[in-house]
Structure 1
Amino acid sequence: MRTVIFDLDGTLADTSVDLINAANTCFRGLGLGDLLDPTQDAAIAVRGGRMMLTEGFKRAGNIDPAEIDRQYPVLLQAYAQDVATHTTLYDGAMDAVEQLKSDGFAVGVCTNKPEGLAIAVLDALGVRSAFGSLIGADTLPVRKPDPAPLRAAVERAGGDPMRSLLVGDSITDLDTSRAMNVPSVMVTFGPAGMAVADLKPDALIHHYNELPAVAAELLS
């Protein structure tokens, strides 16, 4: 079965504000105030918790790897308590998912967000049951850009890994699809915007209403 796998942060949903609020909880706890801006730093947010901590401490003038390690669990706990207050699905995302399923595609999620948090986000958005699989950063011993998580997401959704593609928004997603030798589709409406065009994916989409046709062409 042909399969479309989605990244989560910055691809299916705009999670940046809730992620940055979690990181700022860490900084405030250290007396540093809010070091990240929910709007201007959206692209940093979707690159992960450690990246947010690294950037914040850089702005504070003290990048201490040991402190990043100490604060990372604090960030995860803060995020787990408030995963979706400001998180929204990108326009047309679920219409595209349902159209793909109607067209005979399997669909799933492959993210570098810890699995439990990914489930919490999708549950909060009310869309978890729409996906045939969900692979997170800690589901397997490896994470993207290793191709194993993508392969597992396809297989658990009931699809054929060699008839699949990955929809994402970052170099990590591109490298993952290339590692498995399958097409990559990049969204231009995420925090990275049109900069994803520089990655030269197999296709770009500017709105989710384009995805069903693009997937059908790439996996024809």
Structure 2
Amino acid sequence: MKSVIFDLDGTLADTSADLIAAANHCFEERGLGRPLDPIDDALTAFRGGRAMLKLGIERLDLDEDVADEDYQLLLDYYADNIDVETELYPGVISALEDLQADGWLLGVCTNKPESLALSLLERLGVLHMFGAVLGADSLPVRKPDPTHLTATVEALGGDMALTMLVGDTITDAKTARAAGVPLILVAFGPEGVGIDRLEPDVLLSHYDDMPRIAAELIGA
């Protein structure tokens, strides 16, 4: 069956403010203030917790070991404050409903820990719309290893030949190319239309266009 697989952070929802807040909490606990900016550092936020900690460490000239020492604190704080500012991008729910009505299987393949991904999707009210959710710790590998994507499709009962990936970063681009599936990148993330430099098959400007794009890419 045909399937659409989505990344989560920066693709389905703007999670950057809550991610940055979690990283800043770690530095505040050390009495070092808030070195990260929720707007200027949004792209780093979508690269994960360790990337945020490392950026703060560089700015504060701290020992690199701080990232390992504070990573669990970041995860714990984020788990408790996962949807303070986070919102789905405009049109997501309608697009998911229309895709399902058109016979598409929907899944999430994210480098966010699985428990956090499930928690966030539930709080955002869309978990029930996805037949499979695989996170960073669901398998021994994660994106950009294509096995992460193929396992998500297998869990859905989908067909890789009838699958596309929707994402927002070079990690998603590498994953789609390695798996040999069409790539859709969103144009409303931190890079805006500049993400087109990664040469996706389609640049998605608004989720209202998603059902039409899916039908055009894979008309089965």
Query: TM class by shorter-chain length?
Result: over 0.9
Aligned position for 1:12: 12
Give the drift of 1:20. Answer: 0.6
Matched, 1:205 2:204: yes
Q: Look up the SS of the partner of 1:11 in the other structure.
A: coil
Indicate conservation of the 8 Å contact 2:173/2:183, yes or no: yes
Give me the whole-angstrom Cα distance separating, in 2, the residues matched to 1:69 and 1:194: 34
Render the CA deviation track for 1:7-56: whole Å, top value 9, x for unaligned.
Answer: 00000000011101100010111111001111221111111001100111
Partner Cα distance (1:65, 1:163) in 2: 43
Report SS of the residue matched to 1:8. coil
Identity, in percent, stands at 53
Residue 158 of structure 1, CA deviation: 2.0
Structure 1: how far apart are the matches of 2:202 and 2:130? Answer: 22
**Per-residue deviation, residues 170-191 of structure 1 (Å, max 9, x unmatched):** 0000000111100100000112
Aligned to 1:120: 119
What residue is the counterpart of 2:171 in the other structure?
A: 172
Taking structure 1 as the reference length, the TM-score comes to 0.97
Gapped runs of 5+ residues in structure 1?
none
Relative to structure 2, which stretch is displaced further, 203-212 or 64-73? 64-73
Report the Cα distance in structure 2 between the residues aligned to 1:87 and 1:139, rounded to whole angstroms: 23
Which 5+ residue runs of structure 2 have no aligned equivalent?
none
1:75 and 1:211 mapped to 2: Cα distance? 34
1:84-163 correspondence to structure 2 within 5 Å: 84-163=83-162
**Helix, strand or coil at the partner of 1:4:** strand
The Cα of 1:73 is off from its aligned counterpart by 0.8
TM-score by length of 2: 0.97
Cα distance in 2, alignment partners of residues 4 and 23 from structure 1: 31
**CA drift at 1:67:** 1.4
The residue matched to 1:23 in structure 2 has which SS? helix
Q: Would you say 1:76 and 2:78 are equivalent positions?
A: no
Deviation string 1:142-168 (CA, Å, 9 cap, x unpaired) is: 000001111111121221012101000
- Tell me which amino acid in the other structure corresponds to 1:26: C
Query: Which residue of the partner structure matches residue 48 of structure 1?
Result: 48
Task: Find runs of 4+ consecutive structure 1 residues off by over 6 angstroms.
Answer: none
How far apart, CA to CA, are the structure 2 residues paired with 1:191 and 1:133? Answer: 26
Across the aligned residues of Structure 1 and Structure 2, the Cα RMSD in angstroms comes to: 0.9
SS at match of 2:51: helix
What do residues 68-122 of structure 1 show as CA deviations (whole Å, max 9, x unaligned)?
Answer: 1111111001101110011100000111111111111111100000000001101
SS in 1 for 2:108: strand
Could you say which residue in structure 2 is the equivalent of 1:33? 33
